[in-house]
Structure 1
Amino acid sequence: MACRISELVIDAADPEALAVFWSNVLGYVELGREDDGSIEIGPPDAGFGGPQPTLVISPSSDPRRGKLRLHLDVSATDRDQDAELERLLALGAGPADVGQSGAESWYVLADPEGNEFCLLRARIRPL
């Protein structure tokens, strides 16, 4: 038997805004809130325990230091990479420089709180 990733937790200065951003990026919905201000978002049809992990956006006032050691990769499901890049930028993502050469087939972006993620070229089938 093996483990499965069920949740990813992201610390945020503004959990509300980051939950809205990632919900729009991933097509997720709010699943619940905790007394500590954490907001869990996930797939609308499955929620926690489904085939995709949920995201828990947790409040934190700790400053981020340097490049993240773990980041998310996303792939468009219904449009090409350039159209998805335009959509992500309109949602509030921004370009990020983590030392890429410029010849990569992916775009390095940052969410509104500066957390890096990559938009891959490959389009994948929606669940």
Structure 2
Amino acid sequence: MACHITELILDCADPERLAAFWSEVLGYVEIGREDDGSIQIGPPGAEFGGPRPTLLLSRSSDPRAGKLPLHIDVNPTDRDQDAELERLLALGAKPADIGQGAGVSWHVLADPEGNEFCLLRTRIQPL
């Protein structure tokens, strides 16, 4: 038997702000809060350990050192890439340059705290 990813943890200065952003991006809802101010979000009706990973926004005042060594890729589910890009930008994402160069099929973006993520082209079926 193998492991599966149950949650991703993202250190951030403002868990409320990022929980709101990522909930809108992913169609997630808040599923828990910790005493330290961390907020866990996941698919509606999900609990920790389900088939889709949750996202834990963990309060941290540690400064970020450079580009993240791990990032999130997202795919549109109910619109094409261009329309999804416009939606993400309206939610507060910003274009980011991590050296991807011109002519790539994805868009590199940053969330409101500067954490990079990629919007891929392929439209997938929602779960």
TM-score bracket, shorter-length normalisation: over 0.9
What secondary structure, in the 3-state scheme, does the structure 2 residue paired with 1:73 have?
strand
Give the TM-score of the pair, scaled to structure 2. Answer: 0.98
1:29-108 pair list within 5 angstroms = 29-108=29-108
What secondary structure, in the 3-state scheme, does the structure 2 residue paired with 1:31 have?
strand
Flag structure 2 segments of 5+ consecutive residues without an equivalent: none
Give the TM-score of the pair, scaled to structure 1. Answer: 0.98
Flag structure 1 segments of 5+ consecutive residues without an equivalent: none
Of residues 41-50 and 75-84 in structure 1, the stretch that sits farther from structure 2 once superposed is 41-50
Amino acid at match of 1:18: L
What secondary structure, in the 3-state scheme, does the structure 2 residue paired with 1:66 have?
coil
- For the Cα contact (< 8 Å) 2:31–2:46, is it kept in 1? no
What secondary structure, in the 3-state scheme, does the structure 2 residue paired with 1:41 have?
strand
What secondary structure, in the 3-state scheme, does the structure 2 residue paired with 1:55 have?
strand
What secondary structure, in the 3-state scheme, does the structure 1 residue paired with 2:18 have?
helix
Structure 1 runs of 4+ aligned residues shifted over 6 Å read none
Question: In structure 2, what is the Cα distance between the partners aligned to 1:52 and 1:23?
Answer: 14
Amino acid at match of 2:23: S
Amino acid at match of 1:16: E
Question: In structure 1, what is the Cα distance between the partners aligned to 2:102 and 2:122?
Answer: 17
| % identity of equivalent residues | 76
What is the aligned length? 127
- Superposition RMSD on alpha carbons, in Å? 0.7
- For the Cα contact (< 8 Å) 2:106–2:120, is it kept in 1? yes
Deviations 1:52-86 (A, max 9, x none): 10000000000101111100000000000000000
Amino acid at match of 1:116: E
